[in-house]
Structure 1
């Protein structure tokens, strides 16, 4: 939605209305994590594969091959590492990725990982009208339910943003949580125009995402300037600070980005560091939501889930 009036000419109801459309409500950070663990660790993978290129109409083999690497090479490496470390994860999967790579979503589910919504073809939801966004969200949920065996309970919007309709659609679909917004380090309840929704937000952040550090565009200025081990140091510092505060460490990765050899080394070292503390709770996003969600009813979760 575009307002032709310059923002400096908006009256107070106008700028307040924009800000209040979707807002952070009460914190849902618990007093304790399950089994007395000091920190919750929610590792996620956005299995975009070829969909960002397809969304933008880039259909030549070169760009599509970059995405295919994620499914062909990155996903097997990731699943092997997670199995070796005993770490559950959440995979946010565009429906077209699931349809292109038969058996991938089923493999996630069979390994005990969560499968969650990530759009139809990695569309920019803010460019869609309500009916189109709703249609794609419903169709994507149907595809993932057929392939995973259970209906998704969470969403990460493909572009980490909400349209004017997104939160209403999340509620219509009965989703328990979103993981696209950035108003806190810890889980919180989403407000819709000032009213509590019961929807949990597990916040993301570009600091805790591999794409800003490692993306490459051949015909643009985008280059991966940060060495993998330096990125690993940032993520380790993020985890250590979350642990010191007794909070949540959430990480977003992409198989076609993190799945390369030198970057997988960094991810393996990070998971080993986390496990080595002895007091981290590795959980899917849905597990974290189930634990903190008891606060929505006014109860405080205990030390066991």
Structure 2
């Protein structure tokens, strides 16, 4: 039997696909802790060498680019966060954590969150359900052993979300996900129309350093926006979030943002944010816990 094309689907079919994972009730609170007008949740995906390894790239060039993230980028990020007294969330593939266990300890010692980001930054939409589940459970066990506490949140590698990701997230007992894009503000995830109790802390490519600053030597991907222009976009995002009384969430990568000119631009952005006296800095886990308490 020939598989139907999407234009041939009946309403029951396309509704089933749309409703599998859906945005539920908004979880934006009436107020943020301490009377803050805006919540700021900074995050860093510490991918390091796992991007080339995932694709079977084992030669030194690509691996060195990833190694920069741990050797140079992450320490710079930690120093900047300490300067501004900002807690952040570090989403770390388990293989990256195994390669750099001291980095995990540094995150924890500085009061930051360590959360799930796959096993080897795998493309979960190309995995069968059993493999996706096994890698997720293995990653959670690894981060728990290295960080000393079990992770409570997940950001899927590349923000990919298979038909089985939400079920695995629920099985792991996680409190939040940060991979989807249905809102600017936190919301509850629905599974086939039913509330799950899992908080979505939404991401967006606009608020990610990779689309602006990545470089592929033999591909068409090139940095096309100067770092200070990127910071200008993010500044506008923050200002609008503050005006709305909402959440400003940002996704960065130590091997991308950690270079000197880019850290200068990030510093300017944090100067702008920190110049307001009504900001609540929080990890993604703290945001998830707070909005659930207020709902």
With structure 2 as the length reference, what TM-score do the two structures score? 0.98
Secondary structure of the residue aligned to 2:101 is: coil
The match for 2:45 is 46
The match for 1:278 is 277
Secondary structure of the residue aligned to 1:103 is: helix
The match for 1:36 is 35
Deviation string for 1:4-59 (max 9, x for gaps)? Answer: 32110011111101100000000000000000000000000000001011000111
The match for 2:83 is 84
Which aligned runs of 4 or more in structure 1 are off by greater than 3 angstroms? none
Secondary structure of the residue aligned to 1:182 is: coil
Secondary structure of the residue aligned to 1:29 is: coil
Partners of 2:18 and 2:51 in 1: CA distance: 29
The match for 2:256 is 257
What is the CA-CA distance between 1:130 and the residue it aligns to? 1.1
The match for 1:236 is 235
Partners of 1:225 and 1:35 in 2: CA distance: 39
The match for 1:160 is 159
The match for 2:21 is 22
Deviation string for 1:212-267 (max 9, x for gaps)? Answer: 00000000010001001100100000000000000000000000000000000111
The match for 2:217 is 218
The match for 1:191 is 190
The match for 2:104 is 105
What is the CA-CA distance between 1:159 and the residue it aligns to? 1.9
Partners of 2:158 and 2:219 in 1: CA distance: 20
Secondary structure of the residue aligned to 1:198 is: strand
Asked if 2 retains the 8 angstrom alpha-carbon contact of 1:45 and 1:91, the reply is: yes
Partners of 1:4 and 1:215 in 2: CA distance: 38
Secondary structure of the residue aligned to 2:158 is: coil
Secondary structure of the residue aligned to 2:114 is: strand
The match for 1:141 is 140
The match for 1:302 is none
Secondary structure of the residue aligned to 2:51 is: helix
Partners of 2:11 and 2:160 in 1: CA distance: 24
Asked if 2 retains the 8 angstrom alpha-carbon contact of 1:125 and 1:159, the reply is: no
What is the CA-CA distance between 1:161 and the residue it aligns to? 2.1
Partners of 1:174 and 1:129 in 2: CA distance: 21
Partners of 1:14 and 1:182 in 2: CA distance: 23
The match for 2:174 is 175
Partners of 1:118 and 1:279 in 2: CA distance: 31
Partners of 2:3 and 2:78 in 1: CA distance: 49
The match for 1:71 is 70
The CA RMSD measured in Å over matched residues stands at 0.9
Any unmatched runs of 5+ in structure 1? 300-305
What is the CA-CA distance between 1:102 and the residue it aligns to? 2.5
Asked if 2 retains the 8 angstrom alpha-carbon contact of 1:120 and 1:139, the reply is: yes
Partners of 1:102 and 1:36 in 2: CA distance: 37
Any unmatched runs of 5+ in structure 2? none
Asked if 2 retains the 8 angstrom alpha-carbon contact of 1:22 and 1:193, the reply is: yes
The match for 1:124 is 123
Asked if 2 retains the 8 angstrom alpha-carbon contact of 1:39 and 1:242, the reply is: yes
Partners of 1:118 and 1:222 in 2: CA distance: 23
Secondary structure of the residue aligned to 2:157 is: coil
Asked if 2 retains the 8 angstrom alpha-carbon contact of 1:94 and 1:117, the reply is: yes
